[in-house]
Amino acid sequence: MAFKQISSPHGHNPQNTGWIMQLVLLSTVPGFLALSYQFGWGSFINLIVAVVTSLTAETAILACRNRPIAFYLKDYSAVVTAVLLALALPPLVPWWVVVVGSLFSIVIAKQLYGGLGYNPFNPAMVGYVVLLISFPIEMTTWITPLSLLPDGVSHPGLWESMSIVFAGSAPVDGVTGATPLDIFKHSSGLVVDQIYQNEALFSQASFAGVGWEWVNVGFLIGGLILLKTGVFTWHGPLAMLGTLALMSILFWDGGSSESPGSPIMHLFSGASMMGAFFILTDPVSSAVSNRGRLIYGALIGLLVYVIRAWGNYPDAIAFAVLLANFAAPFIDNYTLPRTYGHTDRRKATEKQEEK
Amino acid sequence: MSRIWEIPGGVHPPENKQQSMTRSIGHLPLPATLVIPLHQHIGAPAKVAVTVGQTVLKGQKLTDASNLNNLPVHASSSGTVIAIDDKPVAHPSGLNALCVTIATDGKDQWIEHAGISDFRQCDPHNLLQMITEAGIAGMGGAGFPAAIKLSPSNDKPVDTFIINATECEPYITADDAAMQEKTQDLIQGIEIVGHILNNPSRVLVGIENNKPQAIVALRSHIKERSIEVVSFPTKYPSGGEKQLIYILTGREVPSGGLPSDLGMVCLNIGTLIAIKRAIIDGEPLISRITTVTGEACGVNRNYDVLIGTPISHLLAHNEFDERNCSRLIMGGPMMGFSLTSTEVPVVKTTNCILASSYSEIPSDLPAQACIRCGLCAEVCPASLLPQQLFWYAQAKDQERLEAHNLFDCIECGACSYVCPSNIPLVQHYRSSKGEIRKANIDKIDSDNARQRFEFRKLRLEQADEQRQVKREARRLATEQARATNSTVQSGSSAADIIAAAQQRAMTKQSTPEQQKAKFERALLAAQSRLEEAENRLTEATAHGTAEQQARCSASLESARQKVDQTQNRLKELSD
Amino acid sequence: MIDAIAQQPMLAALFALVSLGIVFGGLLGFAAEKFKLKGDPIIEQIDNLLPQTQCGQCGFPGCRPYAQSIADGDAINKCPPGGQATINAIANLLDVPAPALDEEHGEEEEIKTIAYIREDECIGCTKCIQACPVDAILGAAKLMHTVIVSECTGCDLCVEPCPVDCIDMLPVIQGIVQWHWPSPASNIDLIATSKMPRREDAA
């Protein structure tokens, strides 16, 4: 009898890439629920459109590249990209915006670079940035959170939402509004206390900004679940949130008219939590070592704050992540761990070990 | 209680050790043939010392060892040598190697042997010689000759002696069983090595806490002695020599170095028991404890197996179900290698035969893309970045692989075990290591070839040059000769030269009488030639062309000169 | 001064550019001198990458002349003994795209071969000795010749001159010592060839 020649180890623990991706998907549920509760059906429709587009695009490209389709679809990576993009987009954005973003993410940012594992940039964020630059109006029109809706007005129902998304009918007045970060961006003459008194978004908030705070809490919960299951390490998210908090404390400025906002506001507004736990933890495009991920996370936190405070855009997760993606190989070069039996860490490009 | 240090990384695969520990160490009936590979250790192979047809006794040396580097192998039972040829051996390649095949005679008759009752009176050097003669190689896996480990070449004195009782691989219980059933032998082995090493200040037994009975057995036997049993939490791969040293001492073996660089020696349980047998009983290493386990075997237990027993013999006595066997593995599931044939014999390093069922170890799934999730880096006990190594292994970027410390990888398999994309990482590293080693050898070869080529070119050029020089010298010599001649005779005519030459010739030869006669003869000839020339000239002036006339007058002139010369010479001679 | 410059923008621009040129030129010159790469000249480096079989299949009398020629701009894909690995290495060194091996100069051999002389048939003509570029054949006129296996580069230059055809190129035996794990098969092939291998396949 002849047995096969197989290299050790023999046997494997049960988890696989598809399972990890499914775990990520499951962990987005709290954030998704919070989004849907606060902003209506829009995110749900985004999700469906994005997933369908992404899977279609992925299938088409895999077929073109002569790859086994079912085998690669089973890794769920296209679904994860689609979901993250859908959750980052404003609810009730026209359907073609979602389609363009998804196509760009999957076709250009992922498959043209060689598919899963070979993309230097986070595909969802590439899609997002393309949309933000190409369609600024659609991308900055956000829905008013549930509790701030004027009396007698409610979020459009599923059917009405679909007609807004697919047929382009205009939403009811008062349904769209500014986000907390928008407000800070555009009210430079006022001291923070005045903003907090004038804007219902803050005066009625529990701790950071109506609606947004709960969305961020949702993503925080999902992120902590992933952390617990060991899908990623704490290094990236903690460094990012820590740096963001540190920067906002440093420049808090006592709440003067120049102040870019409080640490709590920054941590629980915009895409902070989603970015920290779901975007920058994308392992493919991030730094590889734990030390590298600390630097990578901190760089993103810093960039997010810099762009939010002094840049042109109210939020900056996508830009910050893409810029840090550029820096990841450079960070990797200097952050190799110290191997057993070596006195010092080495550089990735080193030719001869320095003794 | 000693302090322990925790290694980074590590995994917790299902242990599966209880199956083979339900029964004590067993013995198998003598196999009909024993196949003993001649090369069972790291180092140079030894020379065959038997011939086909020769009768051998149990314990008789089959090869001659000349120094510490090549260990002898011994006949595990008495019988007749029936073949010395290439047979499949325990190696991941599945290739053949030289083996001595013995047909056993069933008598199991020992060769004469004797041990030393009081090893403490013995010179350590002699004890090392005995250990080498007994063919003892490290029995944990690598097969490093024990005597070399025990005689570190550098000057650093050994202050710590570590006994590796970790046995961190799943399924394997050979050391566990040995510690429980052969405790006394083990302790004696430790004492012998302690004596050889000049009683190191610390003697540590490193053992995982999943072997409570072995810990109790050891502690009860060594209460009064200075040996410390250190137990630590179970984690794979704590039993790697480098990892164990870190766990017990917090120190790291330098990259590319050996434990002896830290003043440490590390031996495993099986080796120590073999050392005891070699010294106290005088028995060479001809058997070892091997775990036979896996769901494809009906019986799971440890056996004291003769070296050279074919695996098929072991399996046949353990209700092996071939159809249910997904892989046949020598060693554990994490680092063992798959066998392609059941005819492979048990060797000195065979600690386990694992015949797994399909439900136990299913076939490997196809690899998915690496998403650089970093789970591999989290479990790497050497703090490498397996995902980056994989990247560069695929790109065959040897420079980067070495910069990422590929050669510090101990191939423990933890990274492949956790990889969610089922990438055979360890095989990538093994292949890359092999290629880099080959490239280094090729580099040496090609440098050598270049040197020889250039030397040859130089040699040819030199030969050419010498030839050139010689030719030049010859040319110069002739030129010079010509030059001297022409300076001497410058101004004189060709006739003078000839005359001078004739004169030289004349002066060399003969007496004046002979010369006179010769001149007279020459005069007559010259005169007749003169007449002839005159006739020809008259004829030419009558009928010939101007050219003919000129030639004839010239020859007439030269004939006349000749006559004059000869007459002159005759006159000179007669004067 | 500033007024003067303002009135003569053309001159000012010229002045500014020239002075910038001088400053940066100086800087670059300094940097080039200060951070000069100390290393083998390029020919040495190329020669180091070539396999040193000295077989002449590239059309040059030996590896070094070919290295010289590459340094002068010749194609880098003329070396069959080195094969694609050598081409890639040289391409990497010179930072040029790596072409496929030029089949005109021969095909890449999978297995390394080495010359063996059938010693009974050797007539001792020394022709192979003269042909061997690395002095790997031992012998004298009218006496049997033999190849020094460890020195033979497998260039097969000795095969042709032999008047009695007693030289064979034999593959080097791959024993257990030389064996190393092959690289795993690519997953695409795996999926294509074995849809989840199960027990039927193994039997």
pLDDT in tens, chain B (575 residues): 578 999 999 999 998 999 888 888 999 999 999 999 988 777 666 788 899 999 999 999 888 876 666 788 999 999 999 999 988 888 888 888 889 999 999 888 899 888 888 888 888 888 888 898 898 888 876 778 888 888 876 677 888 999 999 999 999 999 999 999 999 999 999 999 999 988 888 899 999 999 999 999 998 888 666 788 999 999 988 989 999 999 999 999 998 888 888 889 999 999 999 999 999 999 999 999 999 999 999 889 999 999 999 999 999 998 888 888 888 999 999 999 999 888 899 999 899 999 999 888 888 888 888 888 888 999 999 999 999 999 999 888 888 899 999 999 999 999 999 999 889 999 999 999 999 998 888 888 888 888 888 888 899 899 999 999 999 999 999 988 888 876 655 555 667 767 777 777 666 656 667 777 877 888 888 888 888 888 888 877 777 677 777 777 887 888 788 888 878 877 877 76
- Considering only CB atoms, which chain C residues are within 8 Å of A67? 188
Asked whether residue C194 carries a pLDDT value surpassing 60, the answer given is no
Contact A179, A187 (CB under 8 A): no
Confidence tier at C65 by pLDDT (50, 70, 90): confident
Q: Which chains touch C (3 or more CB pairs under 8 A)?
A: A, B
Q: Per the CB < 8 Å rule, is A288 touching B385?
A: yes
Query: Quick one: average pLDDT of A85-110?
Result: 94
Q: Give me C29's structure tokens.
A: 């010159």
Phi, psi of B38 (to 5 degrees): -80, -15
Q: Per the CB < 8 Å rule, is A4 touching C202?
A: yes
- Considering only CB atoms, which chain A residues are within 8 Å of C191? 68, 71
Rounded-to-integer distance, Cα B24 and Cα B131, Å: 28
- Give which of A110, A60, A54, A63 is closest to B371, Cα–Cα: A110
Confidence tier at C141 by pLDDT (50, 70, 90): confident
Side chain identity at residue A129, one-letter code: V
Picking from A5, A71, A347, the nearest residue to B94 by CB comes out as: A5
Side chain identity at residue A58, one-letter code: E
Q: Which CATH class is domain C42-105?
A: mainly alpha
Q: Per the CB < 8 Å rule, is B91 touching C179?
A: yes
Which CATH number is B116-283 given? 3.40.50.11540
> 3-state SS string over chain C?
CHHHHHHCHHHHHHHHHHHHHHHHHHHHHHHHHHCCCCCCCHHHHHHHHCCCCCCCCCCCCCHHHHHHHHHCCCCCCCCCCCHHHHHHHHHHHHCCCCCCCCHHHCCCCCCCEEEEECCCCCCCCCHHHHHCCCCCEECCCCCCCEECHHHCCCCCCCCCCCCCCCEEEEECCCCCCCCCCCCCCCHHHHHHHCCCCCHHHHC
Who's near B85: CB < 8 A, 6+ residues apart?
Answer: B98, B99, B101
Question: C46-51 contacts: CB < 8 A, separation 24 or more?
Answer: C46/C70, C46/C71, C46/C90, C46/C93, C46/C94, C47/B450, C49/C82, C49/C86, C49/C89, C49/C90, C49/C93, C50/B446, C50/C79, C50/C82, C50/C86, C50/C90, C51/B442, C51/B446, C51/C79, C51/C81, C51/C82, C51/C86, C51/C153
Who's near A180: CB < 8 A, 6+ residues apart?
Answer: A201, A202, A208, A209, A212, A261, A265, A269, A270
pLDDT for residue C191: 57
- Find the residue in C nearest to A8 (Cα): C181
Burial of A144 (0-12, 13-18, 19+ CB in 10 A): buried
Q: Per the CB < 8 Å rule, is A68 touching C202?
A: no
pLDDT for residue A355: 47
**Residue entry with tokens 């003509």:** C125
Q: Give me A351's structure tokens.
A: 């030719």
B297 is in an annotated binding site: no
Q: Which CATH class is domain B366-490?
A: mainly alpha
Element (H, E) at B305: strand B301-306
Rounded-to-integer distance, Cα B206 and Cα B186, Å: 14
Sign of CA dihedral B267, B273, B279, B280: positive
Element (H, E) at A87: helix A77-88
Asked whether residue A334 carries a pLDDT value surpassing 50, the answer given is yes
- Find the residue in A nearest to B91 (Cα): A5
Where along chain A do its domains lie? 16-177, 179-334
pLDDT digits (tens, 9 = 90+) for B160-192: 999 999 999 999 999 999 999 999 999 999 999
Residues constituting chain C: 203
**Residue entry with tokens 């039997």:** C203
Give domain C113-171's CATH number out of 3.20.20.70, 3.50.7.10, 3.30.70.20, 3.40.920.10.
Answer: 3.30.70.20
- Find the residue in A nearest to B366 (Cα): A71
Question: Beta C167-171 vs C113-117: how paired, if at all?
Answer: antiparallel
User: Each residue of A32-51: b (16+ CB within 10 Å) or e?
Assistant: bbbbbbbbbbbbbbbbbbbb
Query: Quick one: average pLDDT of A30-37?
Result: 93
Name which of A17, A65, A71, A74 to mutate to probe chain C: the one with the most chain C Cβ atoms within 10 A of its Cβ.
A71
Instruction: Enumerate the β-bridge partners of residue B103.
Output: B33, B80
Give Cα A156 to chain centroid, integer Å.
26
Burial of C201 (0-12, 13-18, 19+ CB in 10 A): exposed
pLDDT for residue B489: 53
pLDDT-above-90 percentage for chain C: 7
Q: Give me B348's structure tokens.
A: 């000195």
Of A352 and B410, more confident: B410
Where along chain C do its domains lie? 42-105, 113-171
Asked whether residue A332 carries a pLDDT value surpassing 60, the answer given is yes
pLDDT for residue A59: 94
Of A187 and A220, more confident: A220
Picking from C183, C197, C203, the nearest residue to B431 by CB comes out as: C183
Do the domains C113-171 and C42-105 match in fold? no
| List of E strands, B324-368 | 325-330, 337-338, 352-357
Phi, psi of B219 (to 5 degrees): -60, -40
Who's near C130: CB < 8 A, 6+ residues apart?
Answer: C161
A3 in contact with B, Cβ within 8 Å:
yes
Q: Give me C168's structure tokens.
A: 């064979």
User: What SS3 state is found at B134?
Assistant: coil
Picking from A3, A7, A71, the nearest residue to C181 by CB comes out as: A7
Query: Quick one: average pLDDT of A85-98?
Result: 93
Where along chain B do its domains lie? 116-283, 366-490, 502-574
Contact B527, B461 (CB under 8 A): no
Asked whether residue A1 carries a pLDDT value surpassing 50, the answer given is no
Query: Quick one: average pLDDT of C156-173?
Result: 87
* Chain A with chain B: Cβ pairs closer than 8 A: 182
Side chain identity at residue C164, one-letter code: V
Of the listed ranges B25-29, B370-374, C39-43, C115-119, the one predicted with least confidence: C39-43
